[in-house]
Amino acid sequence: MFRRDHPFFPYLILLGLSFIWGSSFILMKRGLEVFSPVQVGAYRLSIAGLALLPIVIKHWGPFLKSKLKYFAIVGLVGNGIPAFLFATAQTKLNSSTAGALNALTPLFTLLIGVWLFQSRLTASKTLGVIIGLAGALILILLRANGLAEPHWAYGLLIVLATLMYGTSVNTVGKYMRDVRPMVTAAVPLVLAATPSVILLFSTDFVWKLQHQPGAWPALGYISILGLLGSAASLVAFNKLIQITSPIFASTTTYLMPIVALFWGLLDGEALGWPQLLGMASILVGIWLVNRKRIPAPVAA
């Protein structure tokens, strides 16, 4: 087992995160076989917030209260709304397509940074954004067989979710650098979980658990999604940024779509040239946006 000061420890976190986040889309797909998008999103947030509640209780105080509005923004646009957007989109889209579109997050992180925080936009980054968005259009508008996608509007829900992720990342980078990574992950999720619990039990969630065939296995998939895909992974990702760099941590963006594609193929999802071209375009766009030498990780 690797110690935390082992030089390969960051790579272990990187691979683990890529696998967990890349698997999130097939887990959502399994949960949606029984539960509605609202129930999947609400339960995912509820169980993630519950798991991280002890961290919030332990660290809560005047310092965190002073940043409550920023935690609320991250909880809303970085956790809350996207959970429901992804679940709704995957009622019509393949999990592999959802995973590829999720890779747009670094592009929108750049654009939001330029728009709100006056970050510098170079020619290379501009080209990367254009190529990445072109790839997204291919994934949204075309099916695996090259024909028009009748449910293209659902792809826009994921684009909106990645736009919100970009807003969240910039908020954390601008206003929460002095907050512990574990707390940065925990407080927004707990805030998002509070209304989610109420929303969840206002639906027929309990009835489905009692009467719907396959409800408990589906709940298990969403539990894994919430506990690993939301709670544990966000803490690990913030730790990875802390012990390496944002550029190194962003490498997960390249690996996640590959994992999502792998699960989609195992599940019998169709794969055609539009998916391959669209995914490749997005990854090239991300590379242009982040075109810097990835530094070797520094042990904590």
Per the structure, the count of domains in the chain is 1
Range of the domain at 75: 17-289
Residue 1 lies in a domain: no
pTM here is 0.89
pLDDT averaged over 10-residue windows placed end to end, the chain, 300 residues? 63 90 95 98 97 95 94 95 97 93 88 78 87 93 90 95 90 85 92 97 96 96 94 84 71 86 92 91 88 45
Question: Torsion angle, CA of 283/269/225/174, rounded to 10 degrees?
Answer: 20
Residue 185 included in any domain:
yes
Distance CA(83)–CA(188), nearest Å, equals 13
What is the rounded CA–CA span in Å between residue 283 and residue 101?
10
- Residue 120 within any structural domain of the chain: yes
- CA–CA separation, 277 vs 238, rounded Å? 31
The span from the first CA to the last CA of the chain, in angstroms, equals: 17
pLDDT at residue 114, as a whole number = 83
Can you give the pLDDT at residue 293?
Answer: 44
41 in a structural domain: yes
On whether residue 85 sits in a domain, the answer given is yes
Query: What pLDDT does residue 115 have?
Result: 81
Asked if the structure places residue 99 within a domain, the reply is yes
Residue 7 covered by a domain: no
Q: Classify residue 299: in a domain, yes or no.
A: no
